[in-house]
Amino acid sequence: MRESKLSHAIGFDDFPFERSHRGDIPIVGTVYAGQKLEGILSAKIRRDGVNSTRVIANLVLNSKFYDHTQLILLQGIALGGFNVMDIHELSALLDRPVLVVSRRKPNMEKIKDALLNRVPGGKRKWHLIQKAGEMEAASGVYVQRAGLTLEQAEQVIQRFAICSNIPEPLRAAHLIAGGMATGQSRARP
């Protein structure tokens, strides 16, 4: 990883959706330079699909923001239900570190049970979660990471956590996605 302060980041979150919804789910990325919102990216991924890694990689690579982007932040390792990302592949494709952030430590046994017993392709998706590594406590949240150390992850969270423990690019992506989907933003990420 290049030496830097990792101050230029894109944070991704998905739009809220009904449990009964099938098909595509919009996602939004907020582009930050330090504490300043610089732009918005958007795309669609398949609900419970397998395309989130590829979609986000293509979205970032083909954006005007790619050259300045130093870090990708994800609101959980899966978007659109169980469209699980391969964070190590995403990091390699973009040549940028990837940091997954969660307010609470997920119940991995429940996730494993759901994936292996109720989700098509669940075995592969569970493998991607295992490949990402254990969730680690970092500056009041839990993280999984690719391409950066735990110390760097903590520095990133502290740098971007302005209004809460959640880094501002993720908080803003969450608010925008909720507002666009339902007409008003929903509760905290």
All residues at 6 or more sequence positions from 31 whose CB lies less than 8 Å from its CB, including other chains: 8, 9, 10, 37, 38, 39, 40, 41, 63, 65, 69, 169
Please check whether residue 123 lies inside any domain of the structure. Answer: no
User: CA torsion angle for 97, 154, 159, 101 (degrees, to 10)?
Assistant: 60
For the residues 93-97, what does the mean pLDDT come to? 98
Cβ neighbours of residue 88 under 8 Å, at least 6 residues apart?
98, 131, 132, 146
Q: Is 146 exposed, middle or buried (0-12, 13-18, 19+ CB in 10 A)?
A: buried
Rg of the chain over CA atoms, in angstroms? 15
59 falls within a domain: yes
How sure is the predictor about 183, in pLDDT bands with cuts at 50, 70 and 90? confident
pLDDT digits 0-9 by tens, 149-181: 999 999 999 999 988 999 999 999 999 998 888
Q: Tokens 């759901």 belong to which residue? A: 114
Quote the tokens at residue 123: 């075995």
Is 158 within the bounds of a domain? yes
The β-bridge partners of 78 are 84
SS3 66: helix
Q: Is residue 41 part of a domain?
A: yes
Q: Is residue 188 included in any domain, yes or no?
A: no
Residue 2 placed within a domain: no
Predicted confidence band of residue 11 (pLDDT cuts 50, 70, 90):
very high
Owning domain of residue 142: 8-106+135-182
Residue 177 lies in a domain: yes
Residue 111 belongs to some domain of the structure: no
pLDDT at 63 over 70: yes
Which residue in this structure is represented by tokens 């302005």? 162
CATH code of the domain covering residue 35:
3.30.2170.10
How many separate domains does the chain show?
Answer: 1
